[in-house]
Amino acid sequence: MLKLAILPALAALVAATSTTADSDHAALPSYHYGAAIPIECMNRSSETGEHIEDSNHQLQWIPFPVCHETSKPLEFGYGIEGEVNCTIPISHEFFHLLEFYIHSDAPL
């Protein structure tokens, strides 16, 4: 008899958990085959390498540099395998940021 009383409570718990999980997944982006996935980089100061934050103190993300081949920032196609060529210009500022990473052993 005790087993029968536990089953409805267990079913309600499972239903509540799956509803919460479903709502968590609804906030995530969904992709379809071939959809473009743009690559972004954390914005950092070329002077110090420090992260740059927005007005809400959230890390600022910027598009990947523009690829010479596509004239767009780097992106990958969801579910598509293959080679992607992306030649990017290295400005003086970008060079110093890369140099900072190498000499300071800063995490990328």
82-92 tens-digit pLDDT:
999 999 999 99
Domain count, the chain: 1
Task: Give the CA dihedral 41, 86, 97, 47, nearest 10 degrees.
Answer: -70
Is the residue at 25 inside a domain?
no
Nearest one of 41, 31, 20, 42 to 77, comparing CA atoms = 31
Is the residue at 19 inside a domain?
no
Entry pTM: 0.60
Is the residue at 8 inside a domain?
no
Higher pLDDT, residue 52 or 9: 52
Is the residue at 52 inside a domain?
yes
Which domain, by its residues, includes 58? 31-104
Is the residue at 90 inside a domain?
yes
Average pLDDT of the chain to the nearest whole number: 79
Is the residue at 1 inside a domain?
no
* The pLDDT value given to residue 66: 94
Is the residue at 4 inside a domain?
no
